[in-house]
Structure 1
Amino acid sequence: MTERYTEAYAAQHGRFTVIPAAYVFLRRGDEVLLQLRAGTGYYDAHWAAGAAGHVEQGESVLAAAAREAAEELGVAVAPEDLEFLTIEHRTGEGAAIDERVDFFFACSRWTGDPVLQEDKASDLRWFALDALPDPVVPHERLVLGRLRGRTLAPVTPIGF
């Protein structure tokens, strides 16, 4: 029998919720595909990863990344074509929703032509890593800057 932690156990021991997300930067040489966020209430009018979203319950982070690429860009990405970049462990104002673990991937191979599939972005463009637009979502700009400088660490803590 497999033991599982209950909500009561977590509450009694002061545990909190960490929200995992997968980010996919499609790459074309030295360029990266970014979307301009719109109508979401979160960093609207900021450029962001072409595909990103929360990992769903029971889903691996690799499956989430591939799913987000299909849902947001209409492209098929094989999990084995995802290149691990970094994990960002972020904290904010102390609310559970501010506790984040973000898995960043690059991908240079996919099937299909990237086209916006959802109404949470108003534009989609390729940018050279050394000529990023302004503004970019801050925690994503950090990853892109370190990717450009080849200084990405496996884990990137923010807010601690």
Structure 2
Amino acid sequence: MREPFALIPAAYVYLRRGDEVLLQLRQNTGYMDGTWAAAVAGHVEPGESAAATACREAAEELAVVLAPEALIPLTVLQRTDGTADAREQRVDWFFTAERWDGAPRIAEPDKCAEIAWFPLAALPARMPPHERAVLERLAAGTVEPFAAYGFRSPADATAVGAG
């Protein structure tokens, strides 16, 4: 019998301004530093919902107040790096938001070098691949409510980023 694994959950929010999304340039985090990523993202903590995580991270990372009812569900992405490593079995809730209180600013300068708005049609070259896949699908209008990324089995051949 196989040992069950625990998924590592995270929530992402793309603040939107028309066809643009707000991204952050990651630094000093130990994960994908030097890449542009969602300006709001973080791990779901025990006892916390994905929506609560999204709102908490918006305050922590951008010093904005994001109400749960302002979250627009985008997709839930189950992903892996293709290994059996338990730390690489993840589930990510992606949201967008078009309204929030406050002006986005870098609230964690030790983790974020810069924030900038990017058109969906002109995303930066250096991005986490799973985030790029979601945003490209958003731009094309083909985001699925549930998707998979990084799996190699034939059952996942049509999934976002299937190998």
- Establish whether TM, by shorter chain, passes 0.5: yes
Q: Is residue 139 of structure 2 the alignment partner of residue 124 of structure 1?
A: no
Once the two structures are TM-superposed, the CA of residue 66 in structure 1 deviates from its matched residue by 0.4
Tell me which residue corresponds to 1:25: 14
Query: Which has the higher Rg, Structure 1 or Structure 2?
Result: 1
TM-score by length of 1: 0.90
Identity score, percent? 56
Cα deviation digits, residues 50-104 of structure 1 (max 9, x gap)? 1100000000111000001110000000001100000110112211110000000
Rounded Cα–Cα distance in structure 1 between residues aligned with 2:147 and 2:107: 30
Once the two structures are TM-superposed, the CA of residue 13 in structure 1 deviates from its matched residue by 6.3
Tell me which residue corresponds to 2:150: 159
Moved more, 102-111 or 126-135: 126-135
Once the two structures are TM-superposed, the CA of residue 14 in structure 1 deviates from its matched residue by 1.5
SS of corresponding position for 2:131: helix
SS of corresponding position for 1:145: helix
Structure 2 gap segments, 5+ residues each: 152-163
SS of corresponding position for 1:122: strand
Q: Which amino acid aligns with 1:108?
A: E
Q: Is residue 66 of structure 2 the alignment partner of residue 77 of structure 1?
A: yes
Number of residue pairs the alignment of both structures matches:
149
Cα deviation digits, residues 78-135 of structure 1 (max 9, x gap)? 0011000001101122111100000000000000000011121101000111111111
Rounded Cα–Cα distance in structure 2 between residues aligned with 1:73 and 1:142: 24
Tell me which residue corresponds to 2:35: 46
Cα deviation digits, residues 21-44 of structure 1 (max 9, x gap)? 000000001110000011111111
Rounded Cα–Cα distance in structure 1 between residues aligned with 2:73 and 2:15: 12
Q: Is residue 134 of structure 2 the alignment partner of residue 133 of structure 1?
A: no
Q: Which amino acid aligns with 2:3?
A: G
TM superposition outliers: structure 1 runs of 4+ over 2 Å: none
Tell me which residue corresponds to 1:59: 48
Rounded Cα–Cα distance in structure 2 between residues aligned with 1:39 and 1:13: 36
